[in-house]
Structure formats: structure tokens, C-alpha cells
Amino acid sequence: MTTDTATTPDLVELIAMRLDSLSTAERAIAETILEDPAAASEKSIGQLAIASGSSEATVTRFCRTMGLRGYSHLRLRLAVSAERRRGDEEAEGGMAMLGDIDPGDPISEILRKVSYADTRAVELTLAQLDTDVLSAAVERIASARRILTFGVASSATAAIDAATKLTLSDCGATVVHDVHGALMASTLLGEQDVVLAFSHSGRAKEVFDVLNAARLQGATTIAVTSDPASPVARAASHVLLTAARELRFRSGGVASRMAQLAVVDAIFVLLAHRRFDASVNAADKMHDAVSHHVIGSERSK
């Protein structure tokens, strides 16, 4: 992962997005930080432990959970986040763009908050993706004999898009819409096969069961989820983390789907990049194949 401060994802936003996935003790630390990130960046590890009613060991564990190298790294990232937030608030006239939707919000502000949440979900997801894990996942997909994609509820959208994009990449992929079908298909997989599964929360039992069934057969299991400590993540050999904060009234909303689709697009583009000339030729052939279905094109006449 990159450590450049211009591209490093905002730690305060990541903490807010992963709040619900933290343990009770770690959540207390997160909430203390979120109350005043700038003040938290100036505390010693002992002071943050006392302020959050936890222990220094729990603070250290929280740092690991957030993918940080240690407490000094936490303080540095919080200081960077606090500075960014001051700049953002000045640019936006003091508007709290990270705020939830409130009863008194006018339509224009609701639309701005929705737009901000969706845009930031994509930006943060791509900024904090572990490029080593992503590269390894793409390698396994590119060499796979069979690829199964799966997701339930709102995550099914990403599974469908993934199967379509992988097929366009000349990587034969099948999306299975029901859990029984996915479980049966998973039992027929082997070491040369891949399951790519989606669950924003990481706690969808259907997704966990499918990944686990495939893993028992020796298949590569890739999970796209926002929670690295979730059951779905633990069932996967490769975990691609998303970062999406849903606003009130939007459980399973657009932000989480946008983050998942961003990961799918990243996989698709990296696959195309691996075999650039062949991908360009394939894209031209596919364009020609469907061009007569486009109203107004020469071939549709």
C-alpha cells in the first residue's frame, strides 16, 4: 500500500466506515478519536487509553485492526486527516460533508451528502486497496480454469457485473443467483478454480458458506468486503477491502455498491493491462458484434 500522504486514504473516514465492525473495546477507542481527531493525534498512547476507558494493549490492537504499523503511525495519520478536514471545511464554507442526513436538510444538501458519500467510497476504496493482494488475486483469476461469482441482496449487483466483465476479459465466469446453486457449484471446484464473492458487511451467511465450500475443495477464494475481521474475510484466501460509509436511510445503499464496483473495474482493467494488444483486439471485435444493435449506427440500418 502506498504511504504517500497525497494518496493515503483519510484515516478518520476509514475509522467511521469500519465503526460497526469493531469490537466493543476498539469501538470505544474509535469513538474517542472521532469526537476530536486533532486532539487524539496529540495524546500519548496512555492518554488515549484512559480517555477511551480501554488499555494500551487494546489501543495497540486497534492500530493493527486499522492496518497501521503502530501508535506513532496512528498519530501521524490522524494529524494528516485533521489538517485535510480543516482544509475541506474551509473549501466548503464550513459544511460538514461527512454529516448524516438530518430532518432539516434541504434537498440540495441531501444531494450533496449522497454525492459525497458515493464519490468518497470509490476514492477511499481504490486508495486503500492492498496492491499486492489485488495483484495476486488478478493472477489467480487470469489463470483460473473456472470462475464463480456470488453475492446476495445489494452485493448481487457486483457479482453480476464481475461475471460480465470477466467474460469480456476472456476469463470465463459464471454468476450464480441462489445459494443452493452456488453451494452445489462450489463442491465441483478444484485447485485451478476461483470464487469471487461480495459482502459489504462480511457477515452474509450465504456468502460465507459458499466461500467455505469452495475453500474445502482447494479453490482460490477472493472476498470483496469492508470488514477485514469478518467471517467472510476469514473464509477467503485473498481479501479486497472496500471503504464505504452508508448514510441514514441507505442500508445496503449505493455507496457500498459503488465501492464494490470500483474493485470489479480495477480487476477488469488490470486483466486487460496484462494482455494489452489482445484486449484491444477483443474490445474491437465485441464492439463490432453489437454495433448493429445501436440505433443510428451504420450497421443498424
pLDDT tens-digit map of 237-251: 999 999 876 655 554
- What's the CATH fold of domain 131-288? Rossmann fold (3.40.50)
**Closest residue by Cα to residue 38 from 76, 89, 67, 7:** 76
The long-range contacts involving 82-88, CB below 8 angstroms and separated by at least 24 positions, are 82/12, 82/37, 82/38, 82/41, 84/10, 85/10, 85/12, 85/37
pLDDT, tens digit (0-9, with 9 covering 90-100), for 217-226: 999 999 999 8
* pLDDT tens for each residue of 33-77: 999 999 999 999 999 999 999 999 999 999 998 888 899 999 988
DSSP letter at 257? H
Q: What residue ranges of the chain are covered by domains with CATH 3.40.50.10490?
A: 131-288
pTM (whole model) above 0.75: yes
Q: What is the DSSP letter of 18?
A: T
CATH of 1-92 given 1.25.60.10, 3.30.450.20, 1.10.10.10, 3.10.20.30: 1.10.10.10
The beta strand positions in the chain, using DSSP E, are: 147-151, 173-175, 194-198, 220-225, 238-241
Give the residues across from 175 on adjacent strands. 149
List every span in the chain annotated with CATH 1.10.10.10. Answer: 1-92
Q: Which residues of 176-204 are buried (b: 16+ CB within 10 A; e: fewer)?
A: beebeebbebbeebeeebbbbbbbbbbeb
